[in-house]
């Protein structure tokens, strides 16, 4: 009898195990986005006379590597999962499961999952901004900054956020209508005395060229015990037959701090026009002066005169293939003399009254 080497037997057993796992797993997808740019950035002289000067830099625009899959459980029900990691192409740094991660169920009644995920408020209008998520993204003025990952105490200002310890339910789409709700569980009650929590909601209509979005979010006890912050926004996007897409957005933020109330209105519009082989992309955001009697600066804004700002971004995307694109853009934030708005991703660190700006040449690849 011919002797079978022990190593070959072990390999055969391992192959059988892997084959069994593959049969049980309906599908596994490897995906990702590599997005980086060479930028030249500077800021004009601030109200107090400081000037950052100009600098060249290689910036990462939230590149990702992920795995996701699903398993049929019978009928229309299936188990779903995702593990998404961030990495910085410019520095070599990264974190496993640092982005959208979940495990849950999906069926005719909708999708329910638990994990670490962007809130419904954030997801509702992210597609309205052709520069999301880059240095030029609208999060500088809309949402009051952006936090890639936070719980109920790490970042208490941003409404554009990925939330830790979150439970999400999304309805199925019915004739284009859908909704979502999420709870950022109050785990921090054990570490801080104010029992902070997050509740996020969205509703929308997406059918053909028209998209309409409504969103509302509550930050319970974020600034101080017994007082809640909230935000609401409404937007519409329409794609015309001329390969022109226009989006409009209104947002109102309301913080309740230890010294009083702080509110602000924000507006955003974008235009994406097919031009030659690529697309011309324009974004414009306006933040009004902060209002209210609160004395604190929350995120990028405060109350009082000359605390508003505008942001304009103009650029062009040139596709090399369906998955690879070269892009260029110029973005500038114009702060009034008491305003401190900065880029939400790849901040410069400006003082009041300074006007940060950047010119970028980059490349984006999906796999």
Q: Does the pLDDT of residue 15 top 60, yes or no?
A: no
User: What value does the mean pLDDT of the chain take?
Assistant: 93
Q: Does the pLDDT of residue 282 top 50, yes or no?
A: yes
The pLDDT-based confidence of 228 (bands split at 50, 70, 90) is very high
pLDDT digits (tens, 9 = 90+) for 185-226: 999 999 998 999 999 999 999 999 999 999 999 999 999 999
Mean pLDDT in residue range 265-282: 98
The pLDDT-based confidence of 25 (bands split at 50, 70, 90) is low
What is the percentage of the chain residues whose pLDDT exceeds 70? 93
Instruction: Tell me the pTM.
Output: 0.91
Q: Which domains does the chain have, with CATH numbers?
A: 29-366 (2.40.160.10)
Beta strands in the chain, from DSSP E residues, in sequence order: 27-43, 55-60, 63-74, 77-87, 94-95, 101-107, 110-118, 146-150, 160-170, 177-184, 197-207, 210-224, 227-240, 244-256, 261-275, 278-287, 309-319, 324-335, 356-366
Per the DSSP assignment, residues forming a β-bridge with 71 are 79
The pLDDT value given to residue 1? 40
């Amino acid at each position: 009898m011919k002797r079978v080497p022990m190593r070959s037997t072990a390999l055969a057993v391992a192959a059988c195990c892997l084959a069994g796992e593959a049969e049980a797993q309906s599908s596994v997808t490897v995906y990702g986005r590599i997005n980086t740019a060479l930028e030249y950035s500077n800021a004009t002289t601030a109200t107090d006379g400081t000037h950052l000067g100009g600098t060249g830099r290689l910036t990462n625009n939230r590149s990702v590597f992920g795995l996701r899959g699903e398993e049929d459980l019978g009928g229309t029900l299936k188990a779903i999962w995702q593990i998404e990691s961030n990495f910085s192409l410019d520095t070599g740094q990264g974190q496993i499961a640092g982005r959208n991660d979940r495990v849950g169920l999906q069926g005719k009644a909708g999708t329910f999952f638990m994990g670490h995920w962007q809130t419904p408020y954030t997801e509702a209008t992210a597609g309205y901004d052709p520069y999301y998520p880059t240095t030029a993204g609208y999060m500088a003025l809309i949402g009051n900054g952006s936090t890639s990952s936070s719980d109920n105490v790490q970042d208490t200002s941003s409404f554009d956020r990925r939330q830790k310890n979150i439970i999400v339910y999304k309805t199925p789409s019915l004739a284009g209508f859908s909704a979502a709700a999420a709870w950022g569980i109050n785990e921090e009650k054990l570490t801080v005395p104010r029992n902070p929590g997050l509740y996020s909601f969205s509703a929308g209509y997406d059918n053909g060229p028209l998209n309409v979005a409504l969103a509302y979010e509550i930050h319970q006890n974020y600034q101080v015990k017994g007082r809640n912050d909230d935000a609401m926004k409404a937007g519409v996007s329409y794609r015309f037959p001329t390969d022109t897409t226009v989006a409009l957005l209104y947002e109102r933020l309301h913080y309740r701090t230890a010294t009083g109330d702080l509110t602000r209105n924000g507006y955003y519009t974008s235009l994406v026009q097919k031009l030659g082989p690529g697309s011309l992309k324009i974004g414009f955001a306006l933040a009004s002066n902060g209002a209210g009697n609160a004395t604190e600066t929350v995120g990028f804004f405060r109350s009082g005169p000359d605390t508003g700002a505008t942001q304009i971004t103009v650029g062009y995307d040139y596709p090399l293939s369906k998955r690879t694109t070269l892009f260029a853009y110029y973005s500038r934030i114009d702060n009034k003399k008491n305003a401190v708005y900065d880029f939400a991703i790849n901040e410069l660190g400006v003082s009041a009254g300074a006007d940060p700006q950047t010119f970028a040449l980059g490349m984006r690849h999906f796999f």
